[in-house]
Amino acid sequence: MNPCIDLDVGITEEMLALRETCHRFAAEVLRPIGARLDRMTPEEVIAKDSPLWEGLEKFKQLGLVGMPDCYGPDLTPEARALMHAMVIEELCWGDVGLSITYALYNLGPIVARQMGRDDLAEFFARRDEFFCLALTEPNHGTDTVAFNEASFRDPQGRADLRVRRDGDDYILNGQKAAWVSCGTLAGCGMIFATCEDSKIGRAGGAVFLLPLDLPGISRGKPLDKLGQRTLNQGEIFFDNVRVPQQFFLADDPEMYAMMLSGFLAHANTAMGLQFVGVARAAFDHALAYAKERVQGGVPIIQHQSVKTRLFNMFMKLESTRSHVRQVAIANYQRMGMIPFQYAAASKILATQTAFELASEAIQMFGGNGLCREYPVEKIFRDARAWLIEDGENNMLAIIAANNF
């Protein structure tokens, strides 16, 4: 019997059927491909003969490209959010890096529609490509997201990616950091840049949704990381890139900060859902191992200390899952305008829970937990990476607390 069941009100047979489909896909496709990619170099992960592309084709066959729009138009916001939470949890239970990668496939048209730009949605719908959110910079990781800190409006602030107006066009110069997800794969992206003549620091910026094959755009090498090795990340360079007005979204300081905080809140909410799946994977592996590993003449789950540790893992997992889903549903109900502190709390809680449960799973496995032969070692590395990415957790807490 699986101790982790869905207690949410409103779960339908359709949701349960889709969850089961996603669970099979996670077990049969994502986990084995993820294990293979984890042993490869970053260059091999995205090579033409990589199993990454085999997995993408199978993901397309699931009909989940463009989540959550792909679920159909008849669902209420609450039902759509709940279905999405269940889908994301299952996929990330399989492999969080691959789940994020495939979720970014052909996301450009959806982002364009969300921004009220049907013209750009039509433009990007004609392209077959990955999307990226290019926000972080080499010398300004936290600086770029601390939208309610005084330093964000410091006129002395110097950004790594700068923009200036040139007639009806814009000129981009500089770079984005190696932590941009799908940075060396993406064909389009949401680009945040600081205006060269800004008198209010990074608060004076502009946002673009643009194709990444414009002249002057180049990529760095894929990032070699401790964890999340199935997720391509890398630098994007801009050398006098002329961006037509068509791809401009906003440069009003108030709108810029609102879009920045909105996209960060959306990313944090999504990460909460993702890392519930990672936490559950760690718990499931620990539970299964405790039932089969014999010490003292009996399976170790029969020892009281192991039972207590497993229940504490279960309790952390279920309380985190409940909070994360509540935030996700509220975010849909409010059209993505949930107060930032709730999104940040969702991300911080879920990533911390995933890391703690992965660490406890390794402890449960003993020496075997340290070996690459067993899956908890990879889960631990994956969980550790996201305590930093999409906003380092301690700094996110400070930004969120500024809303009090």
Q: At 100, which CATH number? A: 1.10.540
Q: How many domains does the chain have?
A: 3
Strand partners, 299: 294
Residue-by-residue pLDDT tens, the chain, 404 positions: 567 777 777 888 999 999 999 999 999 999 999 999 999 999 999 999 999 999 999 999 999 998 887 887 788 888 899 999 999 999 999 999 999 999 999 999 999 998 999 999 999 999 999 999 999 999 988 888 888 889 889 988 889 999 999 999 999 999 999 999 999 999 999 999 999 999 999 999 999 999 999 999 999 999 999 999 999 999 999 999 999 999 999 988 888 888 888 888 999 999 999 999 999 999 999 999 999 999 999 999 999 999 999 999 999 999 999 999 999 999 888 877 889 999 999 999 999 999 999 999 999 999 999 999 999 999 999 999 999 988 899 999 999 999 88
Q: At 201, which CATH number? A: 2.40.110.10
Residue 124 lies in a domain: no
Residues 6+ positions from 394 with CB-CB distance below 8 Å = none
| Same domain membership, residue 266 and residue 249 | no
| Same domain membership, residue 47 and residue 152 | no
Residue that finishes a domain, picked among 253, 286, 305 = 253
| Same domain membership, residue 313 and residue 235 | no
| Same domain membership, residue 159 and residue 95 | no
Q: At 268, which CATH number? A: 1.20.140.10
Neighbouring C-beta atoms of residue 157, cutoff 10 Å: 17
| Same domain membership, residue 34 and residue 56 | yes
Query: What is the span of the domain harbouring residue 265?
Result: 257-401
**Stated pTM of the model:** 0.94
3-state helix, strand, coil in the chain (%, to 5): 55, 15, 30
Residue 119 lies in a domain: no
| Same domain membership, residue 140 and residue 40 | no
Residue 5 lies in a domain: no
Nearest to 158 by CA among 189, 196, 113, 215: 196
| Same domain membership, residue 272 and residue 386 | yes
How far the first Cα of the chain sits from its last, in Å, is 43
| Same domain membership, residue 79 and residue 162 | no
